[in-house]
């Protein structure tokens, strides 16, 4: 039976790992991904909306994103929004769909993306370690107040360290995969 503190820490660590994974998905690799257009906001119907709420985004080829607006009158706005987002893309439309070719990355840019990914991953590790610290402090406080025994406290601290190691390892795997994705030509 897992203690509530351990369960809570594990849940929070899993959220940190997932947030890091989502952040890394936004980083451009040589391949097209709908997540690359997540920062794009379109002025539609009197408000600013995420692109995926006004169009279908697909990647029929490795170096091409196709955007099919649900309302054809928004094609110009979508194109403007992509250019305004300053992602380095040059969209073109044929009146029905918008095609966004993904230019290949040069070596220098790849290295820069790897550095950015490492920084994001390190932030994820720090978040996991902060959760560990909070849980450990909570356990020590319970022990000090004699709400749990010394043996129980050591067992819980070991469990917290174990799940911390698991989540750090997950982050390292995600980073390794992302780096390989960026560096492949």
- Report the chain (185 residues): mean pLDDT per 10 consecutive residues: 85 94 80 81 87 88 88 87 82 88 81 89 95 94 91 93 96 92 76
In the chain, what are the domain boundaries? 4-26+106-183, 34-101
Is there a common fold for 4-26+106-183 and 34-101?
no
Contacting residues for 64 by C-beta, under 8 A, at least 6 apart = 32, 99, 100, 101, 102
pLDDT of residue 185: 56
Instruction: Please say whether the structural domain 34-101 has been given the CATH code 3.50.50.60.
Output: no
Q: Specify whether the CB–CB gap between 40 and 50 falls below 8 A.
A: yes
3 state DSSP class of 87: coil
Helices (H), 26-63: none
pLDDT of residue 95: 84
What fold, for 4-26+106-183? Topoisomerase I; Chain A, domain 4 (1.10.132)
Q: Specify whether the CB–CB gap between 92 and 21 falls below 8 A.
A: no
Q: Name the token pair of 176.
A: 């390794």
């Amino acid at each position: 039976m897992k203690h509530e503190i351990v369960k809570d820490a594990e849940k929070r660590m899993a959220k940190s790992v997932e947030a890091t994974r989502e952040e890394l998905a936004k980083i451009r690799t040589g391949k097209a991904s709908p997540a690359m257009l997540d920062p794009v906001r379109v002025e539609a119907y009197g408000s600013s909306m995420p692109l995926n709420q006004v169009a279908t985004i697909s990647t029929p080829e490795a170096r091409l994103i196709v955007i099919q607006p649900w309302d054809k009158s928004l094609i110009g706005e979508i194109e403007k929004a992509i250019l305004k987002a300053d992602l380095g893309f040059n969209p073109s439309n044929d009146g029905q769909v918008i095609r966004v070719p993904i230019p290949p990355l040069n070596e220098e840019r790849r290295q820069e993306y790897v550095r950015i990914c490492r920084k994001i991953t390190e932030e994820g590790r720090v978040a996991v370690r902060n959760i560990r610290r909070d849980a450990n402090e909570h356990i020590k406080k319970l022990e000090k107040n004699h709400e749990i025994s010394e043996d129980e406290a050591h067992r819980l601290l070991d469990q917290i360290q174990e799940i911390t190691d698991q989540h750090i390892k997950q982050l390292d795997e995600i980073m390794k995969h992302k780096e390989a994705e960026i560096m492949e030509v």
